Amino acid sequence: MPTSAELITSTLTETFDLDPAEVTPERTFEDLGLDSLALVEMGLMLQERTGISLDDMPLRTTLGDLAALMDRGTAGQALTTAPNSGS
């Protein structure tokens, strides 16, 4: 089974045609040029794959922060307080 980071990377590269070399843990969704609509779409796709709710992901969430939250299974509750979050 793929790790959370691998799921995030594959979803971003397949859905939004991003270069895999640019999809690194320290990058934010904002850095990758995604808007709030793209985040909703990505969150729904990841939720389908994992069963973890990814509501209200801030654009400034890093990919590493999201992967760590998904690994703990607490993404829905913790994203609004992630260290790099903000609107």
Q: What is the predicted pLDDT for the residue at 74?
A: 56
Half-sphere exposure of 35 (CA within 13 A, CB side): 1
User: What is the tens place of the pLDDT at every residue in 8-58?
Assistant: 999 999 999 999 999 999 999 999 999 999 999 999 999 898 888 887 788
Query: Is pLDDT of 69 > 60?
Result: yes
Q: What is the predicted pLDDT for the residue at 86?
A: 44
State how far Cα 6 lies from the chain centre.
Answer: 11
Q: What is the predicted pLDDT for the residue at 27?
A: 96
Residues 67, 56: Cα–Cα separation, whole Å: 15
Residues 31, 52: Cα–Cα separation, whole Å: 24
Alpha-carbon dihedral 67, 61, 40, 16, rounded to 10 degrees: -80
Q: What is the predicted pLDDT for the residue at 73?
A: 76
